[in-house]
Structure 1
Amino acid sequence: MTETVLITGCSSGIGQETARAFLQDGWEVYATARNPADVESLGEAGANIASLDVTDGDDVERVVERIIDEEGRVDCLVNNAGYAQLGPVEDVPVESVEDQFAVNVFGPHRLTREVLPHMRERRTGTIVNVSSVAGRLATPGMGIYNGSKFAVEGISDALRPEVSEFGIDVVLVEPGPVDTAFVERANDEIDGLERSDAYDSLYSILDDSEAIGGGGPGAVQPREVAETILDAANLTDPADRYPVGQVAKVAMLGRFVPARLRDKFYRLAFSLVTKVS
């Protein structure tokens, strides 16, 4: 029987490439996005498309019920929908923090709760949470985004042993910089902040799209992330986490550097930026 996957955030980038990778591998794909017009091309390629706002519980219930009615199963859930709220912690208003967690944390949690009863009943399934190197290593100017991804990592690490007895795998995919429109959305979020004048050196870095993970040196293509997600879904015993790209793999080592040394490095970087500017 053909396996079924539900993927969120398929309007572009990683989500869209993931849907295409699963299609090419013969899966029954349900590709979702807030705006169904954004996934029409995936529908033409053979995917089932649906509108899905991960912050709307009724939306989540409707889409999962549709899949169960039509396919009788959800073999894999890919929680990919997300965005980055950047900016100094002091400058990001509470409402923006709530919005960030609503999409990046509460959305995956809501979807996971909706599919788990069906996976447990069949005693099989894979949940892939698309995290980030930012979920393992915090950096100035990304504190709110870091917080949301750290939360996803913590939830995933707790969930994995909770559901393992039911034959369900929980996998974290942790890309470094990816050449997508992700940075454009992040820049929009930065532009929307009421900036204090206390963090000019930090903003000079955040305003550089390559510095915050755009298509600069070390960035990977979204297809590479998609293929990692597909591989994890196909494995009978996947790893708990998969860093994607050389930057992600090197950055992971930063976790073992004492916090005091990391802080000194960041202060040095800010001082150099100030001198240059």
Structure 2
Amino acid sequence: MNEKVVAITGASNGMGLEAAKLFANKGWKVFAGARRVEKIPRDADRIVALHLDVTNTDSNHAFVTHILKEAGHIDVLINNAGYGEYGPAEEISMTKIRNQFETNFFGAVELTQLVLPTMRAQNYGRIVNISSIGGDVYMPLGAYYHATKAALQQWSDVLDLEVAQFGIRSVCVQPGGTQSSWGTIALKNSHSNMRENSAYQPLVDTVSAGLDRFMQRSVKASDLAEVFYKAATELKPSLRYLHAFGDKFMVNVARRHPKIFRKAIIIAMRYFEKQNTSK
């Protein structure tokens, strides 16, 4: 058990991909899972690319079984797989809402349940749950995305209380805007999830303009990978890891001054609406 082993989900893009490369460069054995497995770099010594669909129970079992068969143990599980099913809360189909929870929340829950027996047996383990500042802050069109991240954080905190006695910790990383395909997918979904002649068309146009501008000022995925590594290896871990000052500021305002935060969102929406209509 001298070689450290990390399992990373959603490792074909953005933060997950950069984290896989970072852990490998630091000497870890990385088991990188994703649906688009062909996008994961192959490294015979350090990175093992595995197909993984976190919404599929058989896939989750196969992923963990492969790791334990090859490596014999798992030191860290990074639950990174996720996406934004954006759109009007009234109009997103229940099928898509359920898939949002299956991907962002239930997949992490099931994989964690699968690795915990091994972690308890070895008296050590770290569960790193990739939430978002969206677990505390919010914006229109992101109702179900925000709900999954809030659920992930509450679940992670309860889990941490339960498993700390076994030398295991469960922590959350809360990225803000990050340079990846996340924003493009969320924007695309916000339009495709509208019904024909939707009353929410002006709102979707306004939020799209604001979200697009926000994502343009995003930090690099490689910067967040460093935060992943800190959350996975720090001897006395925090329950929450945030990167940028702006992220920390927004989360603190949302937690401590919810009325002020709501007013700020409304003001920002009016600004982007004005900018959008003046074009």
What is the TM-score of this pair, normalised by structure 1?
A: 0.92
8 Å contact kept, 1:201–1:270: no
Distance change >3 Å, CA 76–CA 212, structure 1 → 2: farther
Residue aligning to 2:106: 106
Residue aligning to 1:189: 189
- 1:150-192 deviation digits (Å, cap 9, x = unpaired): 1101110110111000000111000110011111211221232
Please state if 1:36 is matched with 2:37.
yes
Of 259-268 and 222-231, more deviation after overlay is shown by: 259-268
8 Å contact kept, 1:105–1:151: yes
Residue aligning to 1:5: 6
Three-state SS of the structure 2 residue aligned to 1:91 is: coil
Counterparts of 1:200 and 1:33, CA distance in 2: 33
Of 78-87 and 230-239, more deviation after overlay is shown by: 230-239
Please state if 1:267 is matched with 2:238.
no
Unaligned 5+ residue runs, structure 2?
A: none
Residue aligning to 2:242: 243
- 1:130-162 deviation digits (Å, cap 9, x = unpaired): 010001112222111100101101110110111
How far did 1:210 drift? 4.5
Counterparts of 1:212 and 1:128, CA distance in 2: 29
Residue aligning to 2:77: 77
1:113-262 equivalences under 5 Å are 113-195=113-195, 197-208=198-209, 210-211=211-212, 213-214=214-215, 216-217=216-217, 219-256=218-255, 258-262=257-261
How far did 1:193 drift? 1.3
Counterparts of 2:255 and 2:144, CA distance in 1: 22
Give the number of equivalent residue pairs. 274
8 Å contact kept, 1:20–1:42: no
8 Å contact kept, 1:10–1:19: yes
Counterparts of 2:93 and 2:272, CA distance in 1: 26
Amino acid at match of 2:20: A
How far did 1:197 drift? 3.6
Counterparts of 2:227 and 2:268, CA distance in 1: 33
Residue aligning to 1:97: 97
Distance change >3 Å, CA 2–CA 274, structure 1 → 2: closer
How far did 1:18 drift? 0.2
Distance change >3 Å, CA 188–CA 200, structure 1 → 2: closer
Counterparts of 2:235 and 2:3, CA distance in 1: 16
Counterparts of 1:184 and 1:118, CA distance in 2: 37
Amino acid at match of 1:263: R
Three-state SS of the structure 2 residue aligned to 1:244 is: coil
Unaligned 5+ residue runs, structure 1?
A: none
Percent of residue pairs bearing the same amino acid type: 32
Counterparts of 1:58 and 1:8, CA distance in 2: 15
Of 167-176 and 190-199, more deviation after overlay is shown by: 190-199
How far did 1:269 drift? 3.4
What is the TM-score of this pair, normalised by structure 2?
A: 0.92
What value does the CA root-mean-square deviation take over the aligned residues? Answer: 1.9
Distance change >3 Å, CA 250–CA 49, structure 1 → 2: same
Distance change >3 Å, CA 15–CA 2, structure 1 → 2: same
Three-state SS of the structure 2 residue aligned to 1:5 is: strand
